[in-house]
Structure 1
């Protein structure tokens, strides 16, 4: 096997064919490395066998071991049900299998001993299970059984088999220990291979709480390596930046004043201050590398426009890259309108453009006629040739990894001149954390909101009382207002029974509000499907959009008056604040409803109270770090759009300093390990930087 495991395609794993490759890609899994980093979302304890007579609670999950006493098929055709009667010394359990396959009939024989795991229900006082999971009664029960996030086309049994096969392929050649043991004394004692094995199959003695919070020693060991690789990449970027030549771009006060006067509003003091910081950087012959943090609605687009104006006014080009096509279109619409009076031409490049439309835009870019180019990552494809690109603006930069930032620099370099880079994020990060995570960048903060923003009223409601929301939703949707309904799961989970999923939420809303148009969007959908759903919602063709946190950074929908967040206690404060920012985009009174379980912890209640009391993203981010408790089990991993595969910027702050120290030592004393670590975690970025 290739020693760079992060470049080894997932179809190298036994049993993974073309269909599975396509399905896994929807989960962001394309390599063996991605597959073993697809950590469980929960675990099943199958070590405890429950006697059938002791089953008493509706909805509980249990393991039953018994002997098949008889079978029967009820009904015909697609509506037929295969019933299995499983008996132990205390009673009999009926198991109903819907949509069964012929081979299942052949596998089930009378007097056969089997084990099943599933949800218990009762009919006429008798216990039953529907479509449980079967497993061999003699299987080793000394470890928890993992539960994974799935997508259409992959069943749980298949995912477990794929990951186990991948784990079996690991060895000292393809998963070498790249951090010297003397640098990680606290997290040593286990090889990286053993850590992966323990995460996917933890011993029954392990703490489920620690595993769920990614705080086990095995998780920390892998997270520490990823953070170390990240710090090494920052060292690399910083050294590259110091070696590179930039073009000093002069300020143009008259043009800037003309532009500001043409705006229908007055920029905030924070916008003007941050713009001055950017213009100062642009005037240096060292490439700018600045991060602008701005809370939801702080006006980052205007800052990007003023930076671009300085560059275009000097006869050069600026490119603005957004993570999604709908956001790119939104930027293009706003910025084109801003520059209309100055006769500055823009070009837009999106993956969905047809050949003729794309060709027209490419000509505008190559000729230099278009001063500002806006799009997704499509603006840096091989077919795009810039006349004189000198500024790259990356919106929502946390959605683009270090490897992509390296690619951008490589693509845009020309005649020995490296373009200036301005990154922007709406995720407030405490300054001390930002300095560690983005050590290669200068940081500016937009800490002032434009006047006129409608305050969002935030309230907490028990999940059991969510029916109270329905009349208000119906009344307002009849007035052409709209609602976001956010869930932390895509599909129903066996291990997170209290968590609402998008499928069931949509069914619940459609049943109770049959006259409203309801759509769904989540991270496991194809990009085109997500875009289509968001566009329909933006156009007002959908009343309620049921979604996962994939809409955390989304489009402006001024008519959205309410966002309902189910299982709010499972999110971090910073993420809840981002989600809340989807409403209050217009002048209508807006609300955020935090639906919480009755079993919410005291720390969870404290977090909800912070959100109810404050709309300051930076204050909320600081409090998030102070009081975050259990929860955030799903976090942003489900969206598939975070730059880290195992680490979490907020959760793992206690490891950042150690990672920085280790990275510095490796950079100075173990250069061969530095190269291999970067290849393991950032295979594309390493290649790009060497190109």
Structure 2
């Protein structure tokens, strides 16, 4: 059995009930397979002793010591006397320790009850980061256990540190992963052929799982992680090569397409297409007429005019009597596309039938629409994930347009293509792809780019503001509101997590409405709201009935309000570059000067500082994409820090591009010899790919298509580790 085939629910693991399962789902963990492939982000080495004398901020202590005394701080002049029981004690216990190299102190804030477990004279093992404060070596975050003959579960070993979410603790993940490893992981079949593993000196899948979850040493863990990085990237490249070969073999008669509808649309536009738009329209047109089905990626910056190009290209297929589907990841964006198409076609007086399909369509109307699609009565179907369902059948689907393609799972995209006879595919993204990724990640597709913005698009002024200086931003926005303009306020979380000190949309909606902008209408939109309420709010904002829209990243795509001139992103350090650029692109769509304010926290990581520097310095999405790839470091978790182009489970393209290139060379060399993977030595590859597809995974190590969450925070919240540990990856 391959790891991707372990479909049992994670609730089969000890201690995982409904509440913990819900938190695990935020990490993309639903099955035992997901749990086993949820790799640690770092490790704590509790094998090697580190005495007090060798303590450093970046080197936690791991030692055996004797408790020599207690003292107390706070609580008045007699604080250092014996403990007081039976009444409120406002003092803080200090436990004085001594090992063979020196003395140190445990400061037990809110934990005076530890005076019994850490009584003077006891021998204890202790782990934690000790810093020199007030003339002594102190730790306030630590773990300890008494020295006994029993085997320890927390010392004399390397402990994995997992990405967490919600109320999960490291002990929860460790216990669940250990159970899954013992019951399943140590017995899985290897996906890679033995010869390839030997050549690249990789572990088997079972060995790698044991190495990452229960390592014998930090080096052992790193070797297991390196094996998974290669395997994930190898299967990605194998799929890229197989898709390219399959498309080349799918021949059809080259057929000229009519251009009447397209020309009428272009002549009716109140603006002229840019040179880039004309060029891309020609490239797509040639592909649609070619003897090989089109597989093209259209990338263009925010507001570059990709939609009008896609709709114009669709008209040639529609005029020839065949159907087109355009899918978008959110109902907001799909509805906007449908409205745009209807307006454009009506202005050009084209006899094109447009149908809008989403999960919120009433059952009676849905059945009527499904019948019309199946009978060919709808020329252009625009919708959300609802288009992928088995209930949707086309009479003659020839052209599939997938907007924001990286937000869909690979298996979802394939299910759409299965509704036609090898239809042409145009994938679109407003997140430009760095040149270094174009061939390696999208090597089976031709790439078109729209770099120039349409005439009239204003440059957006971007300003930085530290948290604490928000009033200046609020004052500026107030002036814009009084001038009749509108504003967005975006936050990284929907509500208070109770774990992280971050502003959230719901709390700030109340604050902004009552304290900051009491004279204006303030609305709220986020992914947990029901679709009708969210749609009503967005429509009111679009009509100008709401002045300020408070939201999460749900407004990142699909919102086009020309009168909105201010975008305020609070806790901007919590967003990835792609998300910041997309959000900024929500303004600057009308005739008025527009502004983006990035409000950031006092404490910034180096990576966050670099991101803010980049987004402040340029509005060029292509340049931002290149910089994003350079600065995105290992350990970024899909969530508010968006990965962008692909949702890798294990690999990090900012660190592993050399492994990507090696995996690509190996995969393409193998396919050159055995394009159908039918040789006996390659049977495991074919079986692993088939097993992954059955589990709705694009590759054996990918996330299942149905485990991608919403815009709630899904990164390392609630992490209860004592230190950063040793990161996974190469120096």
Partner of 2:622: 618
Deviation sequence 1:65-101 (CA, Å, 0-9, x none): 9999777698xxxxxxx9997662468745279xxxx
2:516 to 496, 513, 522: 513
Map residues 69-108 of structure 1 onto 2, 5 A cutoff: 88-89=95-96, 93-95=108-110
Map residues 23-42 of structure 1 onto 2, 5 A cutoff: 24-39=24-39
Partner of 1:304: 310
Check whether the contact 1:566–1:595 (CA below 8 A) recurs between aligned residues: yes
Q: Name the CA distance, whole Å, in 1 between partners of 2:407 and 2:242.
A: 20
Indicate how the Cα distance of structure 1 residues 249 and 161 shifts in structure 2: closer, same or farther if over 3 A, else same: farther
Point out the more displaced range, 594-603 or 254-263: 594-603
Q: Name the CA distance, whole Å, in 2 between partners of 1:463 and 1:491.
A: 18
Does residue 636 of structure 2 align to residue 633 of structure 1?
Answer: yes
1:482 to 455, 464, 487: 487
Partner of 2:400: 392
Q: Name the CA distance, whole Å, in 1 between partners of 2:602 and 2:698.
A: 50
Deviation sequence 1:438-494 (CA, Å, 0-9, x none): 111111111221111121112333345445323334444565622233438987697
Does residue 340 of structure 2 align to residue 339 of structure 1?
Answer: no
Structure with the bigger RCO (C-alpha within 8 Å, sep 6+) is 2
Q: Name the CA distance, whole Å, in 2 between partners of 1:531 and 1:673.
A: 48
Q: Name the CA distance, whole Å, in 1 between partners of 2:237 and 2:402.
A: 20
Map residues 574-589 of structure 1 onto 2, 5 A cutoff: 574-589=578-593
2:683 to 672, 676, 682: 672
1:150 to 162, 165, 181: 165
The size of the alignment, in residue pairs, is 636
1:239 to 216, 229, 245: 245
Does residue 282 of structure 2 align to residue 280 of structure 1?
Answer: no
Check whether the contact 1:453–1:584 (CA below 8 A) recurs between aligned residues: yes
Check whether the contact 1:319–1:389 (CA below 8 A) recurs between aligned residues: yes
SS at match of 2:443: coil
Structure 2, unaligned runs of 5 or more: 56-61, 71-81, 97-104, 119-123, 132-137, 147-151, 700-731
Q: Name the CA distance, whole Å, in 2 between partners of 1:10 and 1:344.
A: 49
Q: Name the CA distance, whole Å, in 2 between partners of 1:575 and 1:349.
A: 27
Partner of 2:597: 593
Deviation at 1:420, TM superposition (A): 1.2
Map residues 455-474 of structure 1 onto 2, 5 A cutoff: 455-463=459-467, 465-474=469-478
Indicate how the Cα distance of structure 1 residues 189 and 234 shifts in structure 2: closer, same or farther if over 3 A, else same: closer
Indicate how the Cα distance of structure 1 residues 286 and 518 shifts in structure 2: closer, same or farther if over 3 A, else same: same
Check whether the contact 1:3–1:175 (CA below 8 A) recurs between aligned residues: yes
Q: Name the CA distance, whole Å, in 1 between partners of 2:640 and 2:208.
A: 20
Map residues 155-234 of structure 1 onto 2, 5 A cutoff: 157-174=171-188, 176=190, 178=192, 180=194, 182=196, 188=201, 190-193=203-206, 195-196=208-209, 218-234=224-240
Q: Name the CA distance, whole Å, in 1 between partners of 2:382 and 2:86.
A: 63
Deviation at 1:384, TM superposition (A): 1.1
Partner of 1:324: 330
Point out the more displaced range, 592-601 or 230-239: 592-601
Check whether the contact 1:295–1:426 (CA below 8 A) recurs between aligned residues: yes
SS at match of 1:586: coil
Deviation at 1:302, TM superposition (A): 0.7
Check whether the contact 2:573–2:600 (CA below 8 A) recurs between aligned residues: yes
Q: Name the CA distance, whole Å, in 2 between partners of 1:364 and 1:459.
A: 50
SS at match of 1:483: strand
Indicate how the Cα distance of structure 1 residues 408 and 83 shifts in structure 2: closer, same or farther if over 3 A, else same: farther
Indicate how the Cα distance of structure 1 residues 20 and 512 shifts in structure 2: closer, same or farther if over 3 A, else same: same
Deviation at 1:581, TM superposition (A): 2.1
2:319 to 298, 313, 317: 313
Check whether the contact 1:293–1:446 (CA below 8 A) recurs between aligned residues: yes
Partner of 1:57: none
Deviation at 1:149, TM superposition (A): 3.2
Does residue 517 of structure 2 align to residue 502 of structure 1?
Answer: no
